[in-house]
Amino acid sequence: MQDEQSVGSRLEVRFEAMVRAFSGDLFRYALFLSRDRSQAEDLTQEAFLRAWRSLSSLREESKAKSWLFTTVRREYLRQFERFQPPLDELDPERMPEPRGNEAETMWLRRLIERLPMIYKEPLMLQVIGGFSGNEIAQMLDIPRATVNTRLFRARVHLRQLLDGRNLELRDDEASGG
Amino acid sequence: MNCFEFRRLMEIAPRGAGADAMAHALECARCAQSMKDALAFERKLAQAVDVPIPKRLEERILLRQSFRARWRLPAVRPVAWAWAACLSLAILVAAAGGGYLYKESHLKQELVALIEAADYALVSRTQLPDGEVADALRPVGLAIGEMPGRVSFAGRCLVKGNLSGHLVLREREQPVTVFLMPEEHTLRRVRFERGGWSGLLIPVGRHGTLAIMAAPGQPMDEMASRVLRTVRWDSA
């Protein structure tokens, strides 16, 4: 019984370390997917509860991290794909007066939110999660070349919008990157 | 690596530039500038995604997990089965002997369910003002004098359909839950373990019942004495 209790205790310590290490980034990723803070918290909570149930199989920290991000994504697709909170119009008149970096940061945040999902997902996995191209390809179950194309287009598009060039980025990928 | 490949890399993974890319940047001034711009844009991206996370998110996740853990850890399962057996036995005895044990068992079960349903009450560590605690208990017909400890939550709940007082105190930084149940009458002082919680039921004469619930190992008798000394049960 003591052995079982010490196993339980070790699992709890490990779980807490995972929560401390990943919950912030996981919430941010969930928020950019769902664009809703309460949904993002639900997704984060759910991912960690599932992680607790599968903790003994999540031995490597790097795998645990990608497992958590993948779980958030799957749960989002399962639960919330049909519900998309309305986006505010990107009306420059409604944006705060640019005051240095803060206004630009807010503006860029809204531009990211508006990216089509196929571009937003790999970009957020890279920028928030710090995952490599190969890891993102595995997590999204798409070829590495497709990940590269989507990352390329996402950045170019954001940069153009930030520079005031309003170019359309569509969901389809008819042309190559 | 040529300029085209370099510029493409800067749009795909600017932070992942390897030795090839660095060597090219040293040779090509325009690509070096392109790298500088790309890294500046990465800093902006990182700032943009750095949204504030909800307060106490980590604590809420850990709290939910701790409730699940009590039922899911291998070490706990045999205990849960043992308690299920005890519960069955208690029901049999109650059926034969007048139902008292059943009533007591039901009360314990309800108290555990109440704690787990009101998990939010366990999160706060901030001490409440004395007045707030007194205000919370007044509608239950209870008055409180000196605080029995560091009260971090004060509210009311329904125990078996009857309005009851609900306090959470911090002892050695751990939460100890107190239920003050004027409508619940028990016959004996009883200590119990259920659902991963330790509990203590104390009859308070004709005034009702006091219950103390805490994680196993937390001292409860002294807390019970302090609560009994300071709470007046017939203030209505």
Nearest to B68 among A24, A52, A112 (CB): A52
Q: How confident is the model at residue A124 (pLDDT cuts 50, 70, 90)?
A: very high
Look up the ipTM and state it: 0.79
Q: Do A31 and B45 touch (CB under 8 A)?
A: no
Which residues does chain A have within 8 Å of residue B35's beta carbon, measured at their own beta carbons?
Answer: none
Task: Dump pLDDT digits (tens) for B71-103.
Answer: 454 344 556 666 666 677 666 655 555 556 667
Name the nearest CA neighbour of B178 among B155, B129, B211: B211
With CA atoms as reference, the chain A residue closest to B51 would be A28
Name the nearest CA neighbour of B192 among B99, B69, B68, B82: B82
Which residues does chain A have within 8 Å of residue B76's beta carbon, measured at their own beta carbons?
Answer: 8
Which residues does chain A have within 8 Å of residue B40's beta carbon, measured at their own beta carbons?
Answer: none
State the DSSP H helix or E strand holding residue A152, giving kind and residue range, or none if neither: helix A144-162
CA distance B232 to chain A (A): 41
Tokens 């308070």 identify what position? Answer: B204
- Residues B233 and B236: their CA atoms lie apart, in Å, by 8
Nearest to B53 among A8, A24, A105 (CB): A24
- Residues A133 and A131: their CA atoms lie apart, in Å, by 7
- Residues B227 and B168: their CA atoms lie apart, in Å, by 12
**Average pLDDT for chain B:** 82
What is the residue extent of each domain of chain A?
1-93, 97-170
Mutate to test the interface with B, among A126, A131, A169 (most CBs of B within 10 A): A126
CB B184 within 8 A of CB B209: yes
CA distance A22 to chain B (A): 10
Which residues does chain A have within 8 Å of residue B60's beta carbon, measured at their own beta carbons?
Answer: 41, 45
Task: Dump pLDDT digits (tens) for B22-61.
Answer: 888 888 888 888 888 888 899 989 999 998 888 888 888 8
DSSP string, A4-25: HHHHHHHHHHHHHHHHHHHHHH
- A100 has a chain B CB within 8 A of its CB: no
Q: Do A148 and B49 touch (CB under 8 A)?
A: no
With CA atoms as reference, the chain A residue closest to B66 would be A12
Name the nearest CA neighbour of B224 among B152, B120, B148, B133: B148
User: What is the third-level CATH fold of A97-170?
Assistant: Arc Repressor Mutant, subunit A (1.10.10)
- A152 has a chain B CB within 8 A of its CB: yes
Q: Which residues contact B11 (CB under 8 A, 6 or more apart)?
A: A151, A152, A155, A156, B38
- A24 has a chain B CB within 8 A of its CB: yes
Percent of chain B whose predicted confidence (pLDDT) is above 90: 20
Evaluate if pTM is beyond 0.95.
no
Q: Provide the chain B residues 9-28 that lie in CB contact (below 8 A) with chain A.
A: 11-13, 16
- Domain A1-93 in CATH 1.10.150.120? The answer is no
Q: Do B65 and A11 touch (CB under 8 A)?
A: no
Report pLDDT for A126: 94
Nearest to B75 among A1, A37, A152 (CB): A1
Pick left, alpha or beta for residue B73 (phi over 0 → left; psi -120 to 50 → alpha; otherwise beta).
Answer: beta
- A27 has a chain B CB within 8 A of its CB: yes
Instruction: Give the strand pairing for B162-171 and B209-214.
Output: unpaired
Report pLDDT for A100: 54
**Average pLDDT for chain A:** 78
CB A113 within 8 A of CB B50: no
Q: How confident is the model at residue A154 (pLDDT cuts 50, 70, 90)?
A: very high
Report pLDDT for A54: 78
Rounded to 5°, angle at Cα B168 from B63 and B158 = 95
Q: Do B51 and A109 touch (CB under 8 A)?
A: yes
CA distance B147 to chain A (A): 33
Which residues does chain B have within 8 Å of residue A11's beta carbon, measured at their own beta carbons?
Answer: 73
Report pLDDT for A64: 84
Q: Do B50 and A28 touch (CB under 8 A)?
A: yes
With CA atoms as reference, the chain B residue closest to A124 would be B49
For residues B147-155, average pLDDT: 91
